[in-house]
Copies of this chain bind each other. A is one copy, B any other.
Amino acid sequence: MLSSVAVIGPPRAAAMPAKRLQDCEICPARGFNICGAMRREDLDHVAAAKSPLRLAAGRTLVSEGEPATHFFNVTEGALKTYKLMPDGRRQVTGFLFAGDLLGLACDDTYTFSSEALTDASLCAFPRRQFERLLETFPRMERQLLTMASNELAAAQDQMVLLGRKSAPEKVASFLLMLAGRQERLGRPRDRLRLAMTRSDIADYLGLTTETVSRNMTILRHRGCIELEASGMVRLSDRDLLEELAEGAE
């Protein structure tokens, strides 16, 4: 499975802990991801287990139904996860950014597919080794449980969106969600890049591309947002956006 992606540096087992440790120390996602909970002196154990991974935009990382060989941690870039119905209908279940996990929810096969939206960097942990890591470092397991809990809460928010929000509410909520996540990564709060296509957004919100597009236009005319070049969006009236997201018309 990993043969289908560009691996930088061969996966030599526990060879160069010093260099690896440095990898982790300069990791742009430290503080957001599972390693954030690790003591500095234990970090080389993590570094030894992981393989760094670069993935070009558009490449598939994992496919639904394939054997779940690895656990991943995004350090840079953006990915989407999605599920397909037999007839091709698609539901995008999430967008992943630096610090996000991938590959937790699975038995022996992945229950979803994942694809890079931009060039991305990840840490790949072979499942077996990752589990040994968790046994050795309870702090890490605890951190993982916390992150899984947060994902569960986010999933329930998404159920509200999918089940009970109107199209305009969905689009407004989506923009605010993205803005919130970017902000948590230290990016500007009122300006964000839409790395995903309208089609990705539509499949995330349970809409069609046309409906997403129309509602973006409406938000633009209302003065909530400005669409700039190459997918940049400026949130000019966040308060109004927040009202729209919860149903005040």
Could you list which residues of chain A lie within 8 angstroms of chain B, going by C-beta atoms? 83, 85-87, 89-91, 93, 104-106, 111-112, 134-135, 138, 141-142, 144-145, 148-153, 155-160, 162-165, 203-206, 246-247
Question: Are B156 and A159 within 8 A (Cβ)?
Answer: no
* Chain B residues within 8 Å of A149, by CB: 104-106, 148
CB distance from A108 to the nearest CB of B (A): 12
* Chain B residues within 8 Å of A104, by CB: 149, 152
Known contacts A138-B135, A145-B148, A247-B89: does B156 contact A83 (CB below 8 Å)? yes
- Copies of this protein, total: 2
* Chain B residues within 8 Å of A164, by CB: 85, 89-91, 203, 206
* Chain B residues within 8 Å of A162, by CB: 159, 162-163, 206
Q: In the complex the two chains form, what is the Cα distance from A93 to B153 in whole Å?
A: 10
Question: Are A160 and B105 within 8 A (Cβ)?
Answer: no
